[in-house]
Structure 1
Amino acid sequence: MTATSSSGRGPRRLAALTGVALATGTLVASGVTGLEPGTARASSHREAPLISGQPQYDNTDVYAFVSPDKPDTTTIVANVLPFEEPGGGPNFYKFADDAQYDLHIDSDGDAQGDLIYRWTFKDHIKNGNTFLYNTGAVTSLDDPDLNVTQTYDIELLRLKNQRVKHSTKIADDVPVAPSNVGKASMPKYEALRDQAVRKLPGGTTSFAGQADDPFFADLRVFDLLYGGNLTEIGNDTLKGYSVNSLALQVPTAYIRESEKQPIVGIWATTQRKSASGHWSQVSRLGNPLVNEVVLPLKDKDKFNASHPKNDGDFLKSVTEPEVPKLIEGIYKIKAPAEPRNDLVSVFLTGVDKLTKPPKVKPAETLRLNTAIPPTAKPKRLGVLDGDNAGFPNGRRLTDDVLDIALQAVEGELVGTKNDLGDAVNENDQKFGKSFPYLAVPTEGSRGPLAKPATKDAQGNLLSGGASTASSSGSFADDTLIVSAVAAAAGVLLVGLGVGWWRTRRRNSYV
């Protein structure tokens, strides 16, 4: 089903309707158009009522893939704290110090974790008599000018029937990469990020810190599925935002049951400590978009507190998904027949002969077949385009999960061929070629709208480029007047801007 129209904007031109999906029948994520970064929602970002007010505990995305440069290892990335605006100081972004961030691994398909990598964090402040995150230019993670820092521990828990049988601390007081304050504060941020990549016992490597949000999509979907007219698509709404990332690279042999049973299920949870000292699970995430758009409002908080072994409670939302009905109602594209057992295979059991364990118990986990080697030229549509190393076989950073999910929910797996998508096919920043692979976060002092500073003929500081001054001292519409003020021993520069107006029309179509 290829969507077409003579104008490129009609209801059949659904190659633009993206963000509306999930490999389980889902709408994708919401957003607000305009200057970026602005308020938005994305893949399991702010997906449930309770967690939306607790961003430090909110799991946003999970990725799992065979490491392309070390194919005997598996890389797992779990992100939290969505929509980090780059200039959000002076209190920049940190992990919660009253949380347990867990990465769960099910090695045998019984919907129960066999391994848990548990991260906990501690806060450190060198000088409480200043408001500054850093008191000078920071050149290393142990620099005395880095005033606010965090460290983490990792416990490796082995479980049997959901009970801990053995616990080993594999990381102790490891430094976290700081938020990217800006070039004056952190002139070589990439070096700081590299210092936060640490070797652990047993061939494991870890990273914790801020990163560019790797999720990419046009998120104007909640405005009645792009307003019902598809005139604004192709805008990466997550451009310029950051997240806090937890990343592990582990020997594959350690996490899978055996070479004969190489399929693992992976998900992330966050537990928060109450005033009474008890731990409560407040967030859970495996596949992208599930809790946000597959489940109805009445089930969202319940899912966040639940365990995969109880996912039969949510089966109806998968077999009778809401999204195809919404698409049919607005765009008159007929929804595939129910029950949607094709979505059950992607969402709950794994795909037969690819990601389905031999004795699987249906459960919502991100399933990865670790026996499938990485490909030198990944295809963004993964399995749908013949690339079995991609989503829904795990999830790589480059996988276009929105387009994959949209095509699946509209019947790709049951013979209804279509090329639906949102015209956002890749992340705005390139990913790295070695662990942790994530792109570095946007600088706080120069968010996505900033331009290189220039001066006029009189030496007055202007914003980027081609601004001109009139005889009365006013400036052209697309300029920003900046006043630079030195403070805190010349370390802090504050830019104050007025008179910025920018209009933009997006008319790109797939």
Structure 2
Amino acid sequence: MSDHISGPRALAEPIADITDVYVFPSPGQPGRLVLVLNTLPFAKPSDRLSDGLVYRLRLRPLAASSPGDPAPFTVGAEEFVFDCVFSPPVRTDGNHGGEQEGTITTPAGDPVSFRVNNVDGDSAQGIRVFAGPRWDPFIMDAQAALKTIATGELAFTDPGSIFLDGKNVLSLVVEIDSTLLGGAELVGVVGETLTRGKFGVRIERVGRPEVKNMMLAPKQFDTVNRDLEIRDLYNMEDAFCLGPAYHGAYRARLNANLAFWDGLDGKTDWATEGNGDHPLTQLVLDDFLVVDLTKPYAERGSFLEIELAALRGKAHETCGGRALNDDVIDTIFTQLVNAGTGPVIRDGVDQASRPASTTFPYLAAPNPNPPEPPEHL
């Protein structure tokens, strides 16, 4: 389920639950970068963004690490932050969400105001912004993936089905002029929700999809921390600089779960490293999307390409990042199960029933009659 419902706190405070983060070069405007932060699983068309949260997008320059370094990238100290906050909605009638204003602050500290639900977007200071309900673009047969974990056997079918297809999310779409990033060419991107006030507390943070729900959530394979719900701890961490307190717990959980996924085809494709780590553990812990601003937009096939090329000591060829219509789940499961050396591991779902477009605000209009979430969520 990508990052939908990724822990007890996300379940308790769904308005702060980040479902997905996307980043890609603008398809039609060279020199511009698109950032998408989706929140609130199962949003209604009348829902509005929270006036009690800061919606944050953080970007840092990256450089290739030295040979032999377990981390494929060195993270730069400079940071480019886009913070977005919202006013309380003002209801215009008794039935729908009402009018709402937003303000996004550039890395230079310049505020840009915009209207929620303005599909044309408001523009200033090299930024164009949209916020409001949209059709959830996530593509995955989530129930088959959970069945795979429960049974220890690949449970994907063809065709598969998108879990509660037609559900909505609250989207924040920020299109920026790349000059706002100080000349950086390769950047890491993470999205966050934080409490708004004097003491901001990070509620959620998301880089790549399925890190928490498919790679950190399962407990039964972890012989070190089998009773530990680890995702809330992980959400509180700085994606660009993990603290030492729980680092060993994250590593033990990933080593166990990545080995589970690797063994589903009956063979080992990722040989354990000398320290006992799975070869993907450090890459997963560097949990941010990686995008090359000098490369053109790619509709499909760029997700993880930069990271895997770096891991294998090769030059990357695409923009990386994550595009809205890219079937990244097939990429993830194929790498987990057979390291890309065998057949593509398909979940049986190849595209959204309402694909995203290549023009602003990119995501499809919200479903006016979205499905209701099951009671057990």
- TM-score using structure 2 length: 0.78
**Looking at CA atoms only, which structure, 1 or 2, has the larger radius of gyration?**
1
Distance of aligned partners of 1:153 and 1:226 in 2 relative to their CA distance in 1, 3 Å threshold: same
Distance of aligned partners of 1:381 and 1:284 in 2 relative to their CA distance in 1, 3 Å threshold: closer
Q: Please say if 1:151 is aligned against 2:114.
A: no
Provide the residue aligned with 2:169 in structure 1: 243
- Report 1:36-115 matches (<5 A): 42-84=1-43, 92-108=46-62, 109-110=74-75, 114-115=79-80
Q: Map Cα deviations across residues 442-476 of structure 1 (whole Å, 9 max, x no partner).
A: 113xx579xxxxxxxxxxxxxxxxxxxxxxxxxxx
- Report 1:118-129 matches (<5 A): 118-126=83-91
Cα root mean square deviation, aligned: 3.1
Distance of aligned partners of 1:295 and 1:55 in 2 relative to their CA distance in 1, 3 Å threshold: same
User: How many Å apart are 1:411 and its aligned residue?
Assistant: 3.4
Distance of aligned partners of 1:71 and 1:176 in 2 relative to their CA distance in 1, 3 Å threshold: same
- Write the distance in 2 (CA, Å) between the matches of 1:378 and 1:113: 30
- Write the distance in 2 (CA, Å) between the matches of 1:299 and 1:423: 29
Q: Is the 8 A contact 1:95 1:121 kept in 2?
A: yes
- Report 1:153-302 matches (<5 A): 153-157=103-107, 167-169=109-111, 171-172=112-113, 174-177=114-117, 193-195=118-120, 197-201=121-125, 203-220=126-143, 221-225=145-149, 228=153, 230=155, 234-255=160-181, 257-258=183-184, 262-273=185-196, 278-296=199-217, 297-302=228-233
Matched residue SS, 1:56: helix
User: How many Å apart are 1:72 and its aligned residue?
Assistant: 1.1
1:117 to 71, 78, 82: 82
1:304 to 220, 229, 235: 235
Q: Is the 8 A contact 1:62 1:268 kept in 2?
A: yes
Q: Is the 8 A contact 2:61 2:76 kept in 1?
A: no
User: How many Å apart are 1:309 and its aligned residue?
Assistant: 0.8
User: How many Å apart are 1:44 and its aligned residue?
Assistant: 0.8
Matched residue SS, 1:246: strand
Q: Which runs of 5+ in 2 are unaligned?
A: 63-73, 218-227, 310-314, 373-377
User: How many Å apart are 1:429 and its aligned residue?
Assistant: 0.7
Q: Please say if 1:336 is aligned against 2:270.
A: yes
Q: Map Cα deviations across residues 398-455 of structure 1 (whole Å, 9 max, x no partner).
A: 2111110111112325xx32311101111111221212211111113xx579xxxxxx
- Write the distance in 1 (CA, Å) between the matches of 2:356 and 2:329: 18
Provide the residue aligned with 1:190 in structure 2: none
- Write the distance in 1 (CA, Å) between the matches of 2:270 and 2:257: 11
User: How many Å apart are 1:64 and its aligned residue?
Assistant: 0.6
Q: Is the 8 A contact 1:104 1:268 kept in 2?
A: yes
- Write the distance in 1 (CA, Å) between the matches of 2:134 and 2:251: 36
Q: Percent identity?
A: 22
Q: Is the 8 A contact 1:44 1:61 kept in 2?
A: yes
Q: Is the 8 A contact 1:318 1:343 kept in 2?
A: no
User: How many Å apart are 1:268 and its aligned residue?
Assistant: 0.8
Q: Map Cα deviations across residues 276-317 of structure 1 (whole Å, 9 max, x no partner).
A: x53211111111111223225542111111112116726625
User: How many Å apart are 1:120 and its aligned residue?
Assistant: 0.6
Distance of aligned partners of 1:80 and 1:200 in 2 relative to their CA distance in 1, 3 Å threshold: same
User: How many Å apart are 1:337 and its aligned residue?
Assistant: 2.2
Q: Is the 8 A contact 2:300 2:327 kept in 1?
A: no
- TM-score using structure 1 length: 0.59
Letter in 2 for 1:295: L
- Write the distance in 1 (CA, Å) between the matches of 2:287 and 2:213: 14
Distance of aligned partners of 1:430 and 1:298 in 2 relative to their CA distance in 1, 3 Å threshold: closer
Q: Is the 8 A contact 1:256 1:263 kept in 2?
A: no
Deviates more, 1:317-326 or 1:53-62: 317-326
Provide the residue aligned with 2:220 in structure 1: none
